[in-house]
């Protein structure tokens, strides 16, 4: 129960900030430094992977799709879509991110922190 209460309180602060962050990404994407927008998009990608696709918070949708390509239809759709812009994107993303996923799982950093 503590975890749910803490999560609710945290989300009441984070969700408005996330919306504000999205607006900054849009603004910076059009007229600001590309590096700042790229970092924000990467964080948003990880957020979407964790919430929408029930993936790891430290992994992108592309990398997750490559891992799940045999089991999930949505993963094949993501791979097809990204291949239209950059062939092999999901495979490259997974190759880059899989060592991080393996390390986090090995160290148990995916376990609950609020007891």
Which sign does the torsion angle of CA 49, 50, 51, 53 carry? positive
In tens, the pLDDT along 7-17 reads 788 778 878 88
Burial of residue 78 (number of CB atoms within 10 Å: 0-12, 13-18, 19+) = buried
pLDDT at position 61 is 96
CA 47, CA 65: separation in Å to the nearest integer?
Answer: 14
* Domain range summary for the chain, segments of one domain joined by +: 2-107
Give the pLDDT confidence of 21-31 residue by residue, as tens digits.
888 888 888 88
Residue 94: pLDDT above 80?
A: yes
56: left (phi over 0), alpha (psi -120 to 50) or beta: beta
Q: Which of 54, 65, 72, 52 is nearest to 97 (CA)?
A: 65
- Summarize pLDDT for 32-70 with one digit per residue, the tens: 777 878 888 899 899 999 999 999 999 999 999 999 999
Identify the residue whose tokens are 């799982």: 105
Q: What is the CA radius of gyration of the chain?
A: 16
pLDDT on residue 115: 66
- Token pair in block for residue 44: 């948003």
pLDDT confidence of 95, banded at 50, 70, 90?
very high
Cβ–Cβ < 8 Å for 28, 40: yes
**What pLDDT score was predicted for residue 9?**
81
């Amino acid at each position: 129960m503590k975890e749910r209460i803490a999560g609710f309180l945290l989300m009441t602060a984070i969700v408005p900030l996330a919306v504000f962050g999205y607006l900054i990404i849009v603004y910076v994407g059009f007229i600001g430094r590309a590096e700042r927008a790229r970092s924000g998009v990467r964080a948003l990608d990880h957020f979407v992977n964790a919430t929408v696709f029930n993936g790891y918070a430290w992994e992108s949708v592309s990398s997750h799709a490559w891992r799940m390509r045999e089991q999930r239809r949505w993963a094949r759709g993501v791979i097809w879509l990204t291949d239209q812009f950059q062939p092999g994107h999901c495979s490259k993303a997974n190759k880059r991110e899989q060592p991080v996923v393996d390390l986090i799982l090995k160290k148990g950093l995916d376990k609950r922190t609020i007891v």
